[in-house]
Homo-oligomer: A and B are copies of this chain.
């Protein structure tokens, strides 16, 4: 299978306005009928660089149209997607060079490998490969250089394509808030307590009888993900080897009756002392590593810092930057460590589908989708 040519103007993205490739790149979504899959379909509708060409899902949806197979949970299903036929999650059936994976963890390992082996670039939201040494756990604003791992990945695994992952929904929000602090002051310790929206559990997900007027102080596997992924995202690549950032994270993960938007209360110890004002300024001025690329889904700025005493709030702030910005507020002193702050972000956009798409945008801008 060959990859469609990307307009050569993409190799060196223009300096200012976002250009469009002459021909949009056809992309597929694996696991397209679930909640994250639907968010992919929504965000890819009218994407300037990508065209949703195929939707794939499990056997029981095979042969149906997307409209028939997906119980759409948002507003209106995009028309172009509605009439697509559901394909099996098999590279032989899915004819697209770029594949977004919203697969369940249980099946993601094998299926994603099959696509990578078949020469496709897989942008995965599944956790299966996130902590593998040769797989980028990518947040463009933070660690675009981690894409260099792809070379080792291809060499080691004999794949002509590759897998690039994004972090778990809460971890991304936390990593975004920590990145500027880590870059300037060095993060030494993090205590994080999350309050996570129900959309993070997919659909049907959390039963209403469990969460109406309630808090559930447990999300399976979530605390471990937060405690292990953050260091990799903020890690340093040296001579092709990734060194995780040397700080420890302690996480409490809670489910709360919020539709969209994960909120994290953070207590942070720094290597180099900083006042809350200094920290807030660093957060506010941060532009991230890819501000010059004008990626369609890269928010400007990546972090919105609020001065209000009671923000961020998920219902009011989740849509900042079209759901791609992380809102930070209440930057203040911690009586034990250095700083307390609160971060909030849209879990199915910045924390899932939007993250994968932004990763693909970065790869396209860097010429990494051509010749895949």
Contact = CB atoms under 8 A, between A and B. Distances in A.
A216 B310 contact: yes
A146 interface: no
Interface stretch (A129-137, A234-242, A331-339): A331-339
B209 A35 contact: yes
Contact of A217 (B119, B252, B336, B342): B342
A215 to B, nearest CB: 5
Q: How large is the interface on A (under 10, 10 to 19, 20 to 34, 35 or more residues)?
A: 35 or more
Interface string A3-19: 11111111101000111
A217 B330 contact: yes
Contact of A212 (B17, B193, B212): B212
Contacts of A143: none
B205 A206 contact: no
Copies held by the complex: 4
Interface string A304-320: 00000111111111011
Contact of A213 (B75, B311, B315): B315
A271 B10 CA distance: 46
Contacts of A212: 198, 208, 211-213, 257-259, 315
Interface in A86-122: 97-98, 119-120
Main secondary structure of the interface of A (DSSP, over half): loop
A195 B217 CA distance: 10
Interface in A276-310: 309-310
Given A4-B23, A17-B13, A97-B2, A211 B214 contact: no
A125 interface: no
B1 A120 contact: yes
B204 A336 contact: no
Residue with the greatest number of chain B CB neighbours at <10 A, chosen from A195, A199, A312: A195
A180 interface: no
A353 to B, nearest CB: 15
Given A215-B314, A256-B256, A372 B267 contact: no
A304 to B, nearest CB: 9
A4 B17 contact: no
A204 B35 CA distance: 17
Interface string A231-263: 000000000000000001110101011110001
Contacts of A319: 75
Interface of A: 1-11, 13, 17-26, 35, 49, 73-75, 97-98, 119-120, 189, 191, 193, 195, 198-199, 203-218, 227, 248-250, 252, 254, 256-259, 263, 265, 267, 309-317, 319-320, 329-330, 334-337, 340, 342, 364, 369-372
23 contacts: A3-B371, A10-B17, A10-B18, A11-B20, A35-B209, A75-B317, A198-B212, A199-B209, A204-B207, A206-B209, A208-B257, A209-B259, A212-B258, A213-B315, A214-B258, A214-B316, A216-B310, A216-B313, A217-B263, A249-B336, A250-B334, A250-B340, A254-B263
